[in-house]
Amino acid sequence: DIVMTQSPDSLAVSLGERATINCKSSQSVLYSSNNKNYLAWYQHKPGQPPKLLIYWASTRESGVPDRFSGSGSGTDFTLTISSLQAEDVAVYYCLQYYGTPRTFGQGTKVEIK
């Protein structure tokens, strides 16, 4: 199974400041035949289902604010919130869909400093 490891486990950022979350996979999730990274990011708030933010490592889902961006390739990925808003307080997860079983990172809790 592909193990996904996120860092940090939690972070506190001031409103308007940048938040950066890292996700590392135990093996590459880059599919060479199409040069796509099989990596998604989700935002999860209490009492709600997870919300898709990013797929193919860097493609923003329709309707997601452009302060959210994804980057990286192979085994190392980053989710960046460029200017943290109050409504961004949540737990963020990376997901690899390169293979089955799908595997999530352990989650990163983002709070306001």
Partner 1 sequence: QVQLVQSGAEVKKPGASVKVSCKASGYTFTSYHMHWVRQAPGQGLEWMGIINPSDGSTSYAQTFQGRVTMTRDTSTSTVYMELTSLRSEDTAVYYCGRNIVGGWLDYWGQGALVTVSS
Region 80-109 residues binding partner 1, contact defined as CB under 8 A: 91, 93, 95, 97-98, 100-107
Q: Is 61 in the site for partner 1 (CB under 8 A)?
A: yes
Task: Yes or no: say if 103 and 13 are a contact pair by the CB < 8 Å rule.
Answer: no
Contact 8, 111 (CB under 8 A): no
In the DSSP assignment, the letter for residue 3 is -
> Applying CB under 8 A, does 38 fall inside the site for partner 1?
yes
Contact 110, 20 (CB under 8 A): no
- Of 16 and 49, the one with the shorter C-beta distance to partner 1 is 49
Nearer CB in complex with partner 1: 36/67: 36
Q: Are 101 and 109 in contact (CB under 8 A)?
A: no
**Toward partner 1, which CB reaches closer, 16 or 47?**
47
Report angle CA 16, 89, 50 to the nearest 5 degrees.
130
The contact set with partner 1 (CB under 8 A) reads: 1, 36, 38, 40, 42, 44, 49-52, 55-56, 61, 91, 93, 95, 97-98, 100-107
